[in-house]
Amino acid sequence: MLQALIRAIQLPDLRRRILFTLGMLLIFRLIAHIPVPNINPESLAQLQEALATNQLAQLLNLFAGGALQNFSVAAMGVYPYITASIIMQLLQPLIPALQELQREGEQGRIKLNRYQMWLTIPLAYLQAYGQTLTIERSFGAGQSLFRTPFDIVNNFLPTFTILTTMVAGTMLLVWMGELINERGIGQGISVIIFGGIVSRLPAVIVQGVQISQTGDVGTFIGLALFLAIALVTIVGIVLIQEGQRRIPVQYAKRVRGNKVYGGQSSHIPLKVNMAGMIPLIFAQSIIIFPGVVASWFYRPGAPGFGNAVAGFFYNTFNPTGQGGGIVYITLLFLLTVGFTYFYTLVLFQQQDIPDTLQRNGGFIPGIRPGKNTEQYLMRVLNRITLAGALFLGVIAVLPFITQSITGLQIGLGSTALLIVVGVAVDTMRQLEAQLIMREYEGFLSR
C-alpha cells in the first residue's frame, strides 16, 4: 500500500488528484467550523452536553464529522444525500420508469443522479428543521441555541435563513464530493464522511493518553485490550470487505461474418458484504428513533400512565437505560442482520445478472440459463451473505461488548471504524487501478 502511494505521488497526474482530494478535505474541515447565522456562542458548550445524551444526535454528528457539535453550516453533513440515495435504490425495483433509466447506461445514470439531487433538497430541509428543533428542545426553559426564537411560524425569516444555510452547506459538500469523483481519488461522498471521522482521531488519541496517565494497572490492561480488539476488528473488516465468491461464467462462441466472438471464460464476483455500511445506518436509526421520541415526553419521577409508557420506551431503547441494555443490543444485532439480507437482495435485483448473462450468451457451467441461473445465484448469495450479516451484527454491538470487557468508554465507534477502513481500502484499490492503467499505457506507448 505504501509503495503504491509513493509511486502515485511520483506521477504528476496522480499527484494532482491526491492533492486535489486533500484540498477538498481541508476546505470541508474549514466549513465545519463556520457557524450558522443567529447562533448564540454561549450556548455551544451546552450543545455539546446535550449531544452527549442524545443517541440520534451522536449518530448524525458522526456523519457530519463533528460539525453538529459546532452547529456549523455543515451540521447535517451529507446524510440527506445518503437518505435520498437509499430511497432511490429502494424505488427502482418498484417504479418501471426508474428501472428503464437504470438500463439506459451512462445517460440513465445521469438522470437518476439528477433526480437524487432534487430529492436531497426537500429531505435536507426536513432534516434541518427536525434536527434543529430537537436540539432546541433539549435546552432548559428560558434557554435557546439562537439569539432569536427558532419558530417557523412566529419568527419565519430568521428561522428560514438558518434552514436554508444548513441545506446550502449540505449541497456544497455533495458538490465537493462530485468534484472528488471527477478530479480526485476515491468515491467523493465516502471520502467526505471519511475525512470527518478521521478528524476526530486526535481527540480519541488524547483521550486514550489521558486515561493511561490517570489510570491504575487495571486501566492499562483495559486500554491494551481495547487496542487489541480494535486491531482484530480492522483485520476482520478488511477480510469481509474484500471477501468474494467467484462464480465461473462461460461465453458461447458466436460467428458474425468472418469474425468469431465469445468463447471466453470469466467469473461473477459475489461479495460477502455487498450491502456495505447501509444496514448499520438503517438499524441504528430505527432502534434509536423510539427512544428519542419517548425522551420528548418522559419526565423521570413524574406520575401518570403516559409518562410510564414513555419511560418504558426510553429505557428499553436506550443502551444505558434501566432494563434496556440486553434488549437494545439484541434488537440492534437482529435488525442489522435483517437489513443486511434485505439491502443485499435489493442490490442484487438491480444488477439483473441472470438476464445480462443470457443476453450476452453467457452461462454458468452445469446451470441452465434463465430461472435456474437466478435460483443458483440466490442460493449462493444467501449463504455468503450470512457471514457478512453476522459480521455486521457483531460490528454493531461491538462497542457495548468492548466496554464490558475493558471497562473503558472511548469515543471510537465500530461504525466509524467500518467506514474508515472500508473507504481507505476502496480508495487504495482505485489508486492501484490508476497505476496499472498508466503502466499499461506507458508500455504501449513504447
C-alpha torsion 273→275→276→280, nearest 10? -110
Give, in degrees to the nearest 5, the angle at Cα 196 between 190 and 201.
120
pLDDT block averages, 10 residues each, the chain of length 446 = 75 86 90 86 72 66 74 85 83 80 78 88 88 75 76 85 92 90 85 82 71 66 80 85 84 65 74 83 77 70 75 72 68 89 83 77 80 86 90 85 72 72 82 74 45
- The continuous run of DSSP H or E covering 435 comes out as helix 414-445
268 and 243 in contact (C-beta within 8 Å)? no
314 and 288 in contact (C-beta within 8 Å)? no
How far apart, in whole angstroms, are the C-alpha atoms of residue 154 and residue 157?
9
Whole-number pLDDT of residue 442 = 47
C-alpha cell at 212: 493511561
How far apart, in whole angstroms, are the C-alpha atoms of residue 397 and residue 390?
11
Q: Which CATH class is domain 214-410?
A: mainly alpha
Q: What is the length of the chain?
A: 446
C-alpha cell at 195: 475525512
How far apart, in whole angstroms, are the C-alpha atoms of residue 34 and residue 442?
45
How far apart, in whole angstroms, are the C-alpha atoms of residue 140 and residue 162?
21
How far apart, in whole angstroms, are the C-alpha atoms of residue 382 and residue 397?
22
Whole-number pLDDT of residue 110 = 83
Q: Supply the Cα-derived Rg of the chain in whole angstroms.
A: 25
How far apart, in whole angstroms, are the C-alpha atoms of residue 55 and residue 47?
14
Task: Tell me if 1-200 shares its fold with 214-410.
Answer: yes
Whole-number pLDDT of residue 10 = 80
- Domain map (residue ranges) of the chain: 1-200, 214-410
How far apart, in whole angstroms, are the C-alpha atoms of residue 240 and residue 217?
35
259, burial (CB in 10 Å: exposed 0-12, middle 13-18, buried 19+): exposed
32 and 74 in contact (C-beta within 8 Å)? yes
Question: Helix crossing, 156-183 with 188-198: angle to 10°?
Answer: 110
3-state SS, residue 40? coil
Nearest to 55 by CA among 316, 420, 418: 316
C-alpha cell at 445: 506507448
C-alpha torsion 309→311→314→319, nearest 10? -130
Q: CB 266: neighbour CB atoms within 10 A?
A: 13
Burial readout 46-66 (b: 16 or more C-beta within 10 A, e: otherwise): ebeebbeebbbbbbbbbbbbb
How far apart, in whole angstroms, are the C-alpha atoms of residue 218 and residue 405?
11
Residue 270 pairs with which residues in a beta bridge? 245
**What single-letter amino acid sits at 259?**
K
Q: CB 142: neighbour CB atoms within 10 A?
A: 5
386, burial (CB in 10 Å: exposed 0-12, middle 13-18, buried 19+): middle
Nearest to 89 by CA among 100, 78, 98: 98
Nearest to 417 by CA among 211, 236, 192, 151: 236
The CATH superfamily label for domain 1-200 reads SecY subunit domain (1.10.3370.10)
